[in-house]
Amino acid sequence: MRLLGEHQGLVHAPLPRVRDLVLRTAFSTSATPLRVSRNESEGWIEARGQWWWCGRVEVHEHAAGARVVYRTYNVATGLGARLVPVTVARGHRGAGPLRALLAELGERLGCRTELL
C-alpha cells in the first residue's frame, strides 16, 4: 500500500463518543461496494473498493476531544499502481472525504469540528 494522502481534523467531543460513531458510520453511505474492516480496540475503520483504493479513518485522543485521521492508499499492483496517482486518484487527494465526515460528526454529536 502506498500512501496517497493524509488529512486530520479535530472533533470537540469525548473520544469514546467520537470513536463509536466513526466506527459505526464511516464509509456507510458509499455508492461503491466496499469491503470494510474495523479494529475497535485500536480505533480504526478501513474500506477497500474498486481496484486501487483503500481508505482508513483512525480516531485518537486529543486535548480538545478526538483527532480524526483520514488516509487514502493506492493498493493497485503492476503498471496500474504507477498510473493511479496521475489518473483516478487525483480526486482523492483533497480533504473532501474528511470534511464530509467532520460535518456529519459535528451535526450528530452537536459539537464543533475543525480541519487541521
Domain boundaries, the chain: 2-115
For 14-46, the pLDDT digits (tens) are 999 999 999 998 888 777 788 999 999 999 999
Q: What pLDDT does residue 90 have?
A: 65
Report the share of the chain in percent with pLDDT over 70. 95
| Beta carbons within 10 angstroms of residue 106's beta carbon | 17
Those residues whose C-beta lies under 8 Å from the C-beta of residue 18, and which sit 6 or more positions away, are: 11, 59, 65, 66, 68, 105, 109
Q: Does domain 2-115 have CATH number 1.10.10?
A: no
pLDDT for residue 66 is more than 90: yes
pLDDT for residue 86 is more than 90: no
The three-state (H, E, C) secondary structure of 19-82, written as one string? HHHHHHHCCCCCCCCEEEEEECCCCEEEEEECCCEEEEEEEEEECCEEEEEEEEEECCCHHHHH
Q: What pLDDT does residue 12 have?
A: 98
Q: What pLDDT does residue 43 have?
A: 93
